[in-house]
Chains A and B, each alone.
Chain A
Amino acid sequence: MRLLLLLLVSLLAACGNEQGEDSDTAGLRVYHHSSDGAPTSLDPVQAATLYANLIVVNAYDTLYSYKYLERPYALKPNLAAAMPEVSGDGLTYTIKLKRGVHFIDDPAFDGGKGREVTTADVVYSILRHFDPETRPQGAWLWQGRVAGLEEWKAAGPDYDRLPDGLEIVDDYTLRIHLLQPYPQLLYTLAMGYSGVVPREAVEAYGREFGLRPVGSGPFRVVRYDTEKLIFEPNLNWRWEPVDLAAEGFDPATQGFTGIEVLDGQRPPFVDRFEISFIKESAARWNSFTKGNEIQYAGVPVELVDRVLASKDPVSLAPEYEALYQVRSDIEAGFVYSAFNMDMEFGTDPDPQQNERNRALRCAMIKGFDWERRNDSFYVNLGKVFPGVIPPVVPEYDPDASVDSVTRDVAGARQLLAANGWTPETLPTMVYGTVGSVRSRQFYEQFRAWMMEIGFPREKIVLREFATFGDLNKRWRESQLPLISAGWGLDYPDAENTLQLFYGPNKAPGSNSSNYNNPEYDALFEQAAVMLPSPERTKIYRRMNQMVIDDCVAITGLSRTRISVWHREVLMYPDTSIVGGFFFPFVALQDEKGLRLAPEPTPEVN
């Protein structure tokens, strides 16, 4: 009965609360963003997903960030005062911090005032990845690279004791000591994982810290649940005037956005930044076209042909053209299906059997129809490429042979026949996936293709897992023959995709294919310590060719996102892991031009 009463009371309270939330937003500049998924936690150590990363890099400061507009992606200092000083051997990085950066005000601090961010906070935030209590997910970025982290962890996490590799020179100077050169280090310092958190807040909120971000980033979270997140600008943040040239503005490709008017203006240009999490693409589109709801969305696959007038270059049909802006961008990542090389059709000690197995895998690759996959699910806008170096990274080779991604049913059948594979001897392929409509369709399409090269229907078996965790468990425990996955780049360097086939990363690591080729591994280790250079690119491409020649994976395709936004919004959106830094630049315009703040905000202190 008490429970019932309690419920009734809270019901009434909930109704009461929800009234009038809008009344004080009249006249404010509100931007309504949307995202096709919700983050589960806003704690930087758990910022593993695109969705979480997007919010985390805007609520927290990272030492570095990517320039708003420059492509290929380029870093710039964020919380750091400048690009680092790197020692000649590439082992020591000295990073200066900006002075006078404060965390947002929060009851967790003494007196409720946000204190200044110092080197100790940066170090603390990285160390949290080595403390099991926090359930971190980003340790692999620094493990075995930054000196002393393993020892620090093994001795039991104690934040008052520092590892050798993270040296606090003074309150504004951090020195990082590496075990071996790590050219990707700076990229990791632009990821949400390295967002700088205050120890007071982590300790005050404990497990609920992931719900109540306390950062020093451009925005602070005023509401967060599974449906919506509301940001307000952190007025104490360094809102430097927009310098489009420094951000890498390219009038030819980006001029259509109308963001030139922002040059020299001082953000923030919005008073409120609302993000609705809408998973269903059709619902998202519907909300977008209503006019007064969300102002940013993706175009659902089902509607692309109706909404777009042309695909390359992308443009909108006349009835949408007047209202919306459109942009297509290739994802920083790709989709692929890897064979589990530990299974009976993988690497075999017997050379003859090994060759037969390779033929089987190559035949399946030949049977796979990337063109059709692209047509069915990516409206022919995806970019099919050979191997595992996706188009978005600088090492991509646009002239590589596309044989490995071209369908050849006759060739596949021939290959199978020549190597003695018959419907009876072909192995059963279990296609493991998370239960969803789309992944079922992927499976059915795959099965039909494999039937066309000679697989009996009952030998391509679906195994659906209700949670991603359950599927991931089978991958990490090397139980599934096929790993159909998408990989989102953590940084714009092909090292991030090539490590997917690096022997020592095999299950439970990220190398779910369990590909184990000593030659490949040696090249990987050689390239890992090299700075970007033509020689390194050459090595990368050789490794890529090995993956193709050994028929390790059916790969790959980088999807193209079509994003649309209302014309009154001035921005160049990019929601990938390496994007996400456009939030502070978002502006709104009306008939009179750029909408500036309604009046000087008195709260600024």
Chain B
Amino acid sequence: MIKIENLTKHFPGLDRPAVNKLSLEINEGEVCVLVGPSGCGKTTTMKMINRLHEPDGGEVYLNGKKASEMDEIDLRRGIGYVIQEIGLFPHMTIKDNIATVPRELGWDRERINKRVTELLDLMGLDPEIYSDRRPAALSGGQRQRVGVARALAADPPVMLMDEPFAAVDPITRARLQNEFLRILNKMDKTIIFVTHDINEAIKMGDKVAVLREGELVQHSTPEELLDAPANEFVAQLVGRNRSIKRLHLIRVEDIIEEDADKYSVAAGNGREDIKKKLSESKVGALMVIDEEGLLLGRVDEQSLEKEGETAGELADEIHDQVTADSTLNDSLSVMLESGEGYVPVVDEERGFFRDIITLQDLLQEVRQG
């Protein structure tokens, strides 16, 4: 899909090239993460793919065609491009921002409107509310979603993403990463993703390319990167706590046992049912769910001292939960945040309760690794 051959870029006034004879092949539908310390040439490499920088040597091939021989405007319209949130146009509404490339391509108004609505829905932003707002009226996470939606607007086969989640807080970042992976799984996009965060690289990438001083150090799957770092540099980048890093690679849904029944009571159940089930629950608490299985709250021994008869009346609010497509590392963060040894797992699309995941489950995974 994308083939990079001996790519070289030398910025005037610097004694070493920013990118030095870099070769890399990215297959169709693959997420390739370029990772490395600042100044390693990862962003420069990415910008040579859509020719925001012209290479001084080497060539980029897209589906076998030389990028340097394509019209640069056409080339860029066929490649989605996401940078940090500030790349949104502040004077345009969210709708106009997303419609940028379709407008350049001359789509008619109806088709544009339909596409914008579709993308906002996909990103979990209500089109009714957000279409006519401007970027300044959005939170950092929402802006980031708009940035991704804008890049997806004309359905380009290739996406370039330059630290797209760097400007948001860690919790929002984890959520966006999961959402983004979910959306990606539905599409068949080839993605080049630039980050300086090795954890993000391990989590997001099908392949990870580690760069150092403009040269490719290792190009492999995240597992290989953890198991067999090519040299001291990669080993240091990955860090010593590799078994914990592995938690980025495993999804919650891969290890839960779908024991929703064991850890939940229906909102209509009475005190007796709660007591009976509590005694069997290994975390000393139960999740309260409605008829559809949606999470309403939780009950434990203390809740039984309150007034009320049914589980629904006794339930305390739940502040922390993870979606089934989160990584184990995300659930670990949530547990540390909330101070509980477990966290409820919900379905990422419909939100119904699936199971709980405990600290013991995580420890077991680490030990196995």
Q: Is this pair of chains taken from one and the same complex?
A: no
Interface residues of chain B, those whose CB is within 8 Å of chain A, are: none
Name A residues whose Cβ lies closer than 8 Å to a Cβ of B: none
